[in-house]
Chain A
């Protein structure tokens, strides 16, 4: 390997006749006057001048090449490999052309690639292009990860990629970007596994119901044992909820907004008037629903009822209360109050107010990973509340400590969410955005960090994106997103060009802590997502099961004549729970005969179904 052609302080071209260059591999240029600079291969190409690609020229047929090979000449030996190498550090003057280039030994590049230990850092994958150093790698870094390639597990070949979570103090927050199928969700799963390994309190918002860590991959069983009992899954409305009396009026406005689109000004002022401090859900919702009732009947209607004869004292009291309400809030437009009432009901039906977040707090205090599941809109509402509430707790503790007061300890924690652009969209207001923004900007002071994943970096709030100091960029196809990523990271034009073609699970890590972009492959996850069954397989399976049941019933009666079907319908209803009428039953029988499971005989007089 040798440096050829024009060189600059940053880049050189290298040629080799025998060795194929690997993208992202590290090479050492033997230029003693520059202390043997090191660099990374950023572009590779190979060509054979004897097999050109001239569209206007004739092609060399394979036969001739084979014949030549047979008589001792291998045309491939005339192949030339060329690579563009970018130096890690700019040299004071250009590299000398003609210098020899060699592969590094691990010790020479250790400092560049490894910043922590596998025990203290997050072991996320393997650094691409480091395979050539496999033999000289130090024992403490050997066999740290298992890799999944083309559906097969393989042992670690290169240097493991270790993310030093402690550098988050300086360079907080992580972004994970990539389109669907890019390996982004797997990457997120691996990160969560590592957070669990390190016992870092973490709260995960999981709109897809996929962050379940209880199902272990059998092939990697010995590696995932330490993850047991370190995660906790809670569902909104079933295990956790919002304690209403802790909410401020502003919180309630946000909740109502999340429950059904934008609030009108009239609705906002209605909430402000109706909500009282320390209101419980019951007191507040009673007030609202009574007001709705009162406004529907109107003052006159109520008074008329009050004059009615057969009222019990209790009923009279109720009517008087309604009248009082009506008097107190007579300025509020009925439509707005009804809107609030409807939204409040929606939140209540989702079970949002029946529980609290104690279990989440406990989980975090135990250093667990808490996964919060719920449908997308409820999750947004809940996340807004829970993030705000947890962050406040942590901040209060830290502030108290700063003032020399003895507060109740609340741990630092990490907030993780997929589809982050839904929580903090650019340009549009959303309930969670202001809290997330605050954490993005100030969180590191209090030890609260964000791991945000999204497929649409362009749609994520810019202030937040700018604060993500480490970005994992998976395959991205959309032009606008590539553009955004180029602006927000130090990806080079060559790297950006590769983005649409990355393999699933390969990712660029652009990290302020590393000071440069590293190309890695995410390791195999030790746990797997619960719903891996393909819905189409499911469809087939269910249909097959039903067929078997129906066939079992019919079988006993075959051959069946068309005229006897009615009695069978009853039996099928009893045995299989299928409520079919005659024409449906005939259709099903025809279908079965089409697929060859029974045979249909048609004569001018009667139709008969029989065994095949």
Chain B
């Protein structure tokens, strides 16, 4: 049996109380929240498309999902090796892969953790944008769904992002970013300035009905040239975030419907196509281990990358 000390129980109970103070029941009433929200933005009812409709909409073109993944050897912060993979996968069987590896060991400048994380984010964004651009140019899809918001490309790798966005606009390929976590705080700051520390996610929890979307015009920061919406695409009470190019704004409801149509009723609310891409692209621990084992000399491997905790026996 798992024994838990009384002390930790007491401490947890205390924390629960404190959190409760931050999120008082009085403000958690969905009806009230909806009322407040409707003063700032608009609610929309989204319909799932029938098979015929989705076929018509795609008009014989492919639909592409893009996702990337990174994983590193386990070890000291500066003694790691990261493997990057990005995949663009079309529903007609097209696939485009891009890969890279990175280790802070070979960087000349300072190697603090935040910089490393930033660097990794940038690298992954670059790979994802690379396959996206390839897909747009080579396959001429109707639309590309990207895992994660488009906005983070804007943050992580603005040059490549602008290039990709331009190509998409020129070719008439619709881009849509799908985030499972809405991390922004803009909405809550505007609507409930008195609630400190809340994120938009906390506010939207359980507020939308299944198949309902919420749009607030000022959600995306000025300059990003994007539209943004929240959509409850499955039974899960947490909505997902969708964003797209300002230039393609008039098509946004089609894209929202497309995402909703491709999302299983049960589950976390991400289109199944993106789950499939994610499943294929995911860099798993065994994959990293195998690659390192295969291509890094044993002495280097043990000297640098192998943490002692790997040798735990129980």
Q: Interface residues, chain A, CB within 8 Å of chain B? A: 49-50, 58-61, 63-68, 70-73, 75, 78
Contact assessment for B55 and A59 in the assembled complex, using a CB-CB cutoff below 8 Å: no
Contact assessment for A50 and B279 in the assembled complex, using a CB-CB cutoff below 8 Å: yes
Contact assessment for A68 and B262 in the assembled complex, using a CB-CB cutoff below 8 Å: yes
**Contact-residue size bin, chain B (C-beta under 8 Å from the other chain):** 20 to 34
Contact assessment for B62 and A72 in the assembled complex, using a CB-CB cutoff below 8 Å: yes
Distance (whole angstroms) from the CB of B300 to the closest CB of chain A: 27
Contact assessment for B51 and A70 in the assembled complex, using a CB-CB cutoff below 8 Å: yes
Instruction: Check B268 for interface membership: any CB of A closer than 8 A.
Output: yes
Q: How far is the CA of A73 from the CA of B58 in the complex (A)?
A: 13
Q: How far is the CA of A67 from the CA of B91 in the complex (A)?
A: 11
Instruction: Check B209 for interface membership: any CB of A closer than 8 A.
Output: no
When distances are taken between beta carbons in the complex, the residues of chain A under 8 Å from B58 are 71
Contact assessment for B264 and A64 in the assembled complex, using a CB-CB cutoff below 8 Å: yes
Chain B residue, CB-CB nearest to A66 = B51
Q: How far is the CA of A78 from the CA of B273 in the complex (A)?
A: 13
Contact assessment for B91 and A58 in the assembled complex, using a CB-CB cutoff below 8 Å: no
| A to B CB contacts below 8 Å, 15 in the list | A49-B279, A58-B267, A61-B264, A64-B263, A64-B264, A64-B272, A65-B272, A66-B51, A67-B262, A70-B51, A71-B54, A71-B58, A73-B273, A75-B276, A78-B276
Chain B residue, CB-CB nearest to A57 = B267
Chain B residue, CB-CB nearest to A78 = B276
Known A60-B264, A61-B266; contact A73-B51, beta-carbon cutoff 8 A: no
Q: Return the CB mask of B46-69 against A: 1 if under 8 Å, else 0.
A: 000001001100100011000000
Contact assessment for A61 and B265 in the assembled complex, using a CB-CB cutoff below 8 Å: yes
Given contacts A58-B264, A71-B63, A72-B62, 12 further A-B contacts (CB under 8 A): A50-B275, A58-B268, A59-B266, A60-B267, A61-B264, A61-B266, A63-B265, A65-B272, A67-B54, A67-B261, A72-B91, A73-B93
Chain A residue, CB-CB nearest to B271 = A64
Q: How far is the CA of A480 from the CA of B267 in the complex (A)?
A: 46
Q: Interface residues, chain B, CB within 8 Å of chain A? A: 51, 54-55, 58, 62-63, 91-93, 261-268, 272-273, 275-276, 279
Looking at the complex, which one of A63, A66, A72 makes contact with B92 (CB distance below 8 Å)?
A72
Distance (whole angstroms) from the CB of A581 to the closest CB of chain B: 70
Contact assessment for B272 and A68 in the assembled complex, using a CB-CB cutoff below 8 Å: yes
When distances are taken between beta carbons in the complex, the residues of chain B under 8 Å from A50 are 275-276, 279
Chain B residue, CB-CB nearest to A71 = B91
Looking at the complex, which one of B62, B267, B268, B273 makes contact with A68 (CB distance below 8 Å)?
B273
Looking at the complex, which one of B51, B54, B272 makes contact with A60 (CB distance below 8 Å)?
B272
Distance (whole angstroms) from the CB of A575 to the closest CB of chain B: 70
Distance (whole angstroms) from the CB of A12 to the closest CB of chain B: 21
Distance (whole angstroms) from the CB of A17 to the closest CB of chain B: 13
Known A50-B276, A61-B264; contact A67-B92, beta-carbon cutoff 8 A: no
When distances are taken between beta carbons in the complex, the residues of chain A under 8 Å from B63 are 71
Chain B residue, CB-CB nearest to A69 = B51
Distance (whole angstroms) from the CB of A73 to the closest CB of chain B: 4
Q: How far is the CA of A75 from the CA of B62 in the complex (A)?
A: 16
Q: How far is the CA of A604 from the CA of B55 in the complex (A)?
A: 77
Contact assessment for A73 and B92 in the assembled complex, using a CB-CB cutoff below 8 Å: yes
Contact assessment for B262 and A64 in the assembled complex, using a CB-CB cutoff below 8 Å: yes
When distances are taken between beta carbons in the complex, the residues of chain B under 8 Å from A73 are 91-93, 273
The 10 closest A-B pairs by CB, nearest first: A58-B267, A73-B91, A58-B266, A72-B92, A70-B51, A72-B91, A64-B272, A61-B264, A64-B264, A71-B91
Q: How far is the CA of A64 from the CA of B259 in the complex (A)?
A: 11
Q: How far is the CA of A58 from the CA of B270 in the complex (A)?
A: 12
Distance (whole angstroms) from the CB of A484 to the closest CB of chain B: 42
Q: How far is the CA of A60 from the CA of B275 in the complex (A)?
A: 11
When distances are taken between beta carbons in the complex, the residues of chain B under 8 Å from A66 are 51
Contact assessment for A68 and B264 in the assembled complex, using a CB-CB cutoff below 8 Å: no
Q: How far is the CA of A443 from the CA of B267 in the complex (A)?
A: 70
When distances are taken between beta carbons in the complex, the residues of chain B under 8 Å from A67 are 51, 54, 261-262
Q: How far is the CA of A75 from the CA of B92 in the complex (A)?
A: 11
Distance (whole angstroms) from the CB of A78 to the closest CB of chain B: 8
Distance (whole angstroms) from the CB of B286 to the closest CB of chain A: 14
Distance (whole angstroms) from the CB of A18 to the closest CB of chain B: 14
Distance (whole angstroms) from the CB of A365 to the closest CB of chain B: 73
Q: How far is the CA of A593 from the CA of B277 in the complex (A)?
A: 71
Interface centre among A61, A65, A72 (most CB of B within 10 A): A72
Chain A residue, CB-CB nearest to B272 = A64
When distances are taken between beta carbons in the complex, the residues of chain A under 8 Å from B279 are 49-50
Distance (whole angstroms) from the CB of B278 to the closest CB of chain A: 10
When distances are taken between beta carbons in the complex, the residues of chain B under 8 Å from A63 are 264-265
Distance (whole angstroms) from the CB of A66 to the closest CB of chain B: 7
Distance (whole angstroms) from the CB of A59 to the closest CB of chain B: 6
Q: How far is the CA of A67 from the CA of B276 in the complex (A)?
A: 14
Chain B residue, CB-CB nearest to A52 = B279
Distance (whole angstroms) from the CB of B94 to the closest CB of chain A: 10
Q: How far is the CA of A49 from the CA of B279 in the complex (A)?
A: 8
Distance (whole angstroms) from the CB of B102 to the closest CB of chain A: 27
Q: How far is the CA of A71 from the CA of B271 in the complex (A)?
A: 14
Q: How far is the CA of A61 from the CA of B235 in the complex (A)?
A: 13
Distance (whole angstroms) from the CB of B52 to the closest CB of chain A: 9
When distances are taken between beta carbons in the complex, the residues of chain A under 8 Å from B93 are 72-73
When distances are taken between beta carbons in the complex, the residues of chain B under 8 Å from A70 are 51, 54-55
When distances are taken between beta carbons in the complex, the residues of chain B under 8 Å from A75 are 276
Contact assessment for A68 and B266 in the assembled complex, using a CB-CB cutoff below 8 Å: no
Q: How far is the CA of A570 from the CA of B62 in the complex (A)?
A: 89
Contact assessment for A68 and B261 in the assembled complex, using a CB-CB cutoff below 8 Å: no
Q: How far is the CA of A64 from the CA of B270 in the complex (A)?
A: 12
Distance (whole angstroms) from the CB of A367 to the closest CB of chain B: 66
Chain B residue, CB-CB nearest to A73 = B91
Distance (whole angstroms) from the CB of B215 to the closest CB of chain A: 25
When distances are taken between beta carbons in the complex, the residues of chain B under 8 Å from A68 are 91, 262, 272-273
When distances are taken between beta carbons in the complex, the residues of chain A under 8 Å from B263 are 64
When distances are taken between beta carbons in the complex, the residues of chain A under 8 Å from B273 are 68, 73
Contact assessment for A71 and B272 in the assembled complex, using a CB-CB cutoff below 8 Å: no
When distances are taken between beta carbons in the complex, the residues of chain A under 8 Å from B272 are 60, 64-65, 68
Q: How far is the CA of A71 from the CA of B263 in the complex (A)?
A: 14
Distance (whole angstroms) from the CB of A98 to the closest CB of chain B: 15
Q: How far is the CA of A71 from the CA of B64 in the complex (A)?
A: 11
When distances are taken between beta carbons in the complex, the residues of chain B under 8 Å from A60 are 264, 267, 272
Q: How far is the CA of A357 from the CA of B167 in the complex (A)?
A: 100
Distance (whole angstroms) from the CB of B90 to the closest CB of chain A: 8
When distances are taken between beta carbons in the complex, the residues of chain B under 8 Å from A71 are 54-55, 58, 63, 91
Chain A residue, CB-CB nearest to B276 = A50
When distances are taken between beta carbons in the complex, the residues of chain B under 8 Å from A61 are 264-266
